[in-house]
């Protein structure tokens, strides 16, 4: 991959359908830069504020980012596709990334539901060098008994997971208990005072930009570490 790799908009075939994807190159150097394929959350899309802000922060720290729409969002629907269809779409985008960019280091993941889809893929040995999860939805709000953790022990790729301490989708104590069964290299990063969108209250003394910088900085360090494994 050359230093001058440009930003690109793609149409990606998913079976008989198509979806949109965008390649956002790192703002520093793109030569052999790691690629993060970032999926949006259930209520979001590839161009929502959270995804775009995350992409910009990671690009400033040397990562190439590929954003894409799940098929239901491409069709302007608010109802998420079944998990197998989400995974099929994710895998098609990754295949296109490998074809277009040939990354040396490939990381999959994303926000909330998108990250969960990536984790389900990784649990079945989908080829990737790491899993980056942002606001992993361990359970529905107010329903801690409905844990989404059964597949986590099957993941073998290195994982970096960010959750806010005010996230109603992920009770800290329940996540820490779930991680006792995980055998892979899983780094859990708790963002103090942040909710499911990584928003913090003014009383915390920080703003959302500071939280995003914290997430991007920790991600850069983690990517550097797994790139040498």
Residue 140 to residues 112, 171, 196: CA-CA distances in angstroms?
11, 10, 12
User: What is the structure's pLDDT at 5?
Assistant: 66
Tokens of 217: 């900085």
Contacts of 34 (CB under 8 A, 6+ apart): 62, 63, 64, 103, 104, 105, 106, 107, 129, 223, 227
User: What is the structure's pLDDT at 32?
Assistant: 82
Residue 70 to residues 36, 44, 92, 109: CA-CA distances in angstroms?
16, 10, 11, 13
Look at residue 68 and tell me if it is in a domain.
yes
Element (H, E) at 14: strand 8-14
User: What is the structure's pLDDT at 103?
Assistant: 93
Look at residue 3 and tell me if it is in a domain.
no
Look at residue 18 and tell me if it is in a domain.
yes
Predicted TM-score of the model (pTM): 0.95
CB 158 within 8 A of CB 131: yes
How many domains, in total, are found in the chain? 1
Look at residue 15 and tell me if it is in a domain.
yes
Coil, strand, or helix at residue 217? helix
Look at residue 220 and tell me if it is in a domain.
yes
**9 — alpha (psi -120 to 50), left (phi > 0) or beta?**
beta
Order across the sheet with 8-14: list the strands.
Answer: 8-14, 17-24, 64-68, 35-39, 106-111, 130-134, 159-164, 186-191
User: What is the structure's pLDDT at 177?
Assistant: 97
Look at residue 159 and tell me if it is in a domain.
yes
Contacts of 145 (CB under 8 A, 6+ apart): 139
CA distance 25 to 54: 13
Kindly give the confidence (pLDDT) of every residue in the chain, 229 residues in length, as a single tens digit, with 9 standing for 90 and above.
434 467 899 999 999 999 999 999 999 866 689 999 999 999 999 999 999 999 999 999 999 999 999 999 999 999 999 999 999 999 999 999 999 999 999 999 999 999 999 999 999 999 999 999 999 999 999 999 999 999 999 999 999 999 999 999 999 999 999 999 999 999 999 999 999 999 999 998 899 999 999 999 999 999 999 986 5
Q: Domain range spanning residue 167?
A: 8-226
Look at residue 78 and tell me if it is in a domain.
yes
The domain spanning residue 46 has which CATH number? 3.40.50.1820
Checking DSSP bridges between strand 35-39 and strand 64-68, what pairing results, if any?
A: parallel
Look at residue 2 and tell me if it is in a domain.
no
């Amino acid at each position: 991959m050359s230093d001058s790799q440009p930003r690109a908009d793609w149409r990606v075939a998913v079976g008989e359908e198509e979806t949109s994807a965008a390649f956002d190159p790192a703002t520093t150097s793109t030569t052999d830069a790691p690629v993060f394929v970032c999926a949006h959350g259930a209520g979001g899309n590839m161009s929502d504020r959270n995804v775009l802000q995350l992409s910009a922060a990671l690009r400033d720290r040397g990562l190439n980012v590929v954003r894409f729409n799940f098929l239901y969002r491409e069709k302007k629907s608010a109802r998420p596709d079944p998990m197998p269809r989400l995974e099929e779409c994710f895998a098609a985008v990754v295949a296109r990334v490998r074809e277009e960019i040939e990354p040396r280091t490939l990381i999959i993941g994303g926000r909330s539901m998108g990250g969960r889809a990536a984790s389900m893929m990784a649990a079945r040995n989908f080829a990737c060098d790491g899993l980056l999860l942002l606001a992993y939805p361990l359970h529905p709000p107010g329903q801690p008994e409905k844990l989404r953790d059964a597949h986590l022990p099957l993941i073998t790729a290195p994982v970096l997971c960010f959750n806010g301490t005010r996230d109603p989708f992920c009770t800290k104590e329940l996540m820490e208990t779930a991680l006792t069964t995980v055998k892979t290299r899983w780094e859990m990063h708790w963002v103090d005072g942040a909710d499911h969108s990584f928003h913090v209250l003014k009383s915390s003394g920080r703003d959302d930009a500071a939280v995003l910088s914290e997430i991007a900085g920790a991600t850069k360090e983690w990517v550097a570490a797994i790139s040498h494994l």
